[in-house]
Each structure stands twice: as C-alpha cells, then as structure tokens.
Amino acid sequence: MIRIAQLSDVHFGDENLPAVEAATSLLQADPPDLILITGDITRFAEVAELEAARDWLERLPRPWLVTPGNHDAPYLAWYERIFTPFARYERIIGPAWSQSHLDDQIAVAGVNTARGAQWRLNWSKGQISRDQVRTAVNFLDAAPADRVRLVALHHPLTEMIAGPMTAKVWGGVDAARAFSEARVDLVLSGHVHAPFALPYPFADERTYAVGCGTLSVRERGVPASFNMIEVDPDAIRVKALTWSGGQFEAYRTWSLDRRA
C-alpha cells in the first residue's frame, strides 16, 4: 500500500498553529511515502511568512513536493506581484513553475496554476496553459507504467458543486480532459479550503479530482484539515482528517475505483 499525505493552504501568517503542529507531529511519527503541499503556504507572501513556511517544510519527513498558490505571490508589493510574482517564493522555498517527483511507486507532476496578474479583476483565480499540460503529461508518460500518476496544483480545474468558493481556472476543463485521456490517477488541489473527491467526466472516468482543506484559521465551513491517501491495486482511499481542537478525527472518506 502507498501512503500519501496532502496538505494545503497553511497560510503562514494566518496558520492554525495547534493544527499545524499536530499534523507535523503525526507525519513525523508515521511518515508517509510522499507529502504533497498544494499551494497557499503563506498569507501575503511576506518574507517572514515564507521563511516560516520554509522552516516548517524542513521539519517534515521527506520526500515532499510543494507547488505555489495565489497567496504565494506578494499581495502588498504590487510591482513585484506584476513583474516578478514568484521571485521571493523561488528564493526562499524553491521552484515555482514546475516541480516533479519520481520514485519506484509514484510519479508526480507539479503545475503552477497561480498568476501574479491577469486580464481580469480577480487575480486569485487560476490559469493553466496548454504548454503546462503538455509538460506534465510528457513527464508522466515517460515514467514507468506501473507508477501511480499524480498531478499537484493549487486551483481545482473544474468547479465543485455547492463549494464554498470558485476557482474559475482558465483552461481548466481542457486540462482536466487532457489529464483524463493521459490516464492520470489523481489531480490534487487546494484553494477552496474544503475536502472533496470526484471523478472527471472524461475518458474512462477513472481520473479523480481530490481537494484538500486548510490548516489555517481561514476556514470556510470545514474545520482545519488535511488528507491521507492510501493507494492499493484496486482502489484509492482518501480520508479527510479534521482538527477537533485536541486531535485530528476522520471527517469523510472516499473510496475511488482504480482503472484496470
């Protein structure tokens, strides 16, 4: 069995410190095969927030992969946000535009769906380009066929019905279709601060969108949470663990059929 932890939207500067510490202790005590952090590790991408996020990442058991979110481009330094949106992130955390992980069980393509500025008023929404999709698919296609194939990004590519907020990803539906046709197993995201798991309605419908909650105080109807994912040959189980104030407890579990 393969075990993957997914954490998202920690928002250092607005982090839920007891929940972050408890999640960190759980992962240190029983390390999974991989930890994925799907964006918004800071509140405003201030240097102190990025440094706090870096210090936290260094405490997590490896391997881990982190991809940025819209909050990881400076909110207050407008010149940087428009012209060099992820320079601070790359200096303190690591690569912003493309990340990847490959081992003897798992292949992950990290994709940055956040933008510093866009040709629309709400810059917090997502974008994914054809080149980004092509790069991710090419990486996963080059991996051995028996690897679990994952895409990690911040914004959900398609909208969650009755979700607490929208992502409105430009190019999102086309990307979801392309990842489905490429036989990706999971597309993992954050942003909406609520966990979910649902199939994309494309190809064989065995590519699933999995959303993660937040470990910040910026809750949207769901307590602070993170996901534990277990992969067996026949099924993928996603368990959302929510913070009760004293411990993490099972909130919801999804069992997802794997393709043959």
Q: Reply yes or no on whether the pLDDT at 162 is more than 80.
A: no
Which residue shows structure tokens 């075990």? 3
* pLDDT the model gives residue 12: 98
Residue among 191, 183, 160 at smallest CA distance from 40:
191
Spell out the domains of the chain, with CATH numbers in brackets: 2-257 (3.60.21.10)
Give the strand pairing for 225-231 and 2-7.
antiparallel
Q: What is the mean pLDDT of residues 61-85?
A: 95
Average pLDDT over the chain reads 96
* pLDDT the model gives residue 2: 98
Q: Reply yes or no on whether the pLDDT at 164 is more than 90.
A: no
* pLDDT the model gives residue 16: 97
- Residue 172 has which token pair? 């999102």
Q: Which residues of 102-125 are buried (b: 16+ CB within 10 A; e: fewer)?
A: eeeebbbbbbbbbbbeeeeeebbb
Q: Reply yes or no on whether the pLDDT at 231 is more than 80.
A: yes
Percentage of the residues of the chain whose pLDDT score is greater than 90:
92
Per-residue CA distances from 235 to 1, 110, 116, 246, 256 (Å): 10, 23, 38, 31, 5
Q: What is the mean pLDDT of residues 234-251?
A: 96
Eight-state DSSP code of residue 127: B
What distance in Å separates the CA atoms of residue 184 and residue 233, rounded to the nearest whole number?
Answer: 15
Q: What is the mean pLDDT of residues 85-97?
A: 97
Percentage of the residues of the chain whose pLDDT score is greater than 70:
100
* pLDDT the model gives residue 255: 97
Q: Tell whether pTM > 0.85.
A: yes
CB burial of residue 84 (10 Å; 0-12, 13-18, 19+): middle
pLDDT tens digits along 47-56: 999 999 999 9
Q: Please give the backbone phi and psi of residue 188, each rounded to the nearest 5 degrees, phi first.
A: -100, 135
Q: Reply yes or no on whether the pLDDT at 260 is more than 90.
A: no
* pLDDT the model gives residue 71: 97
Q: What is the mean pLDDT of residues 37-58?
A: 98
Least confident of 75-89, 180-194, 195-209, 228-242: 75-89
Q: Reply yes or no on whether the pLDDT at 225 is more than 80.
A: yes
Q: Is 11 left (phi over 0), alpha (psi -120 to 50) or beta?
A: left
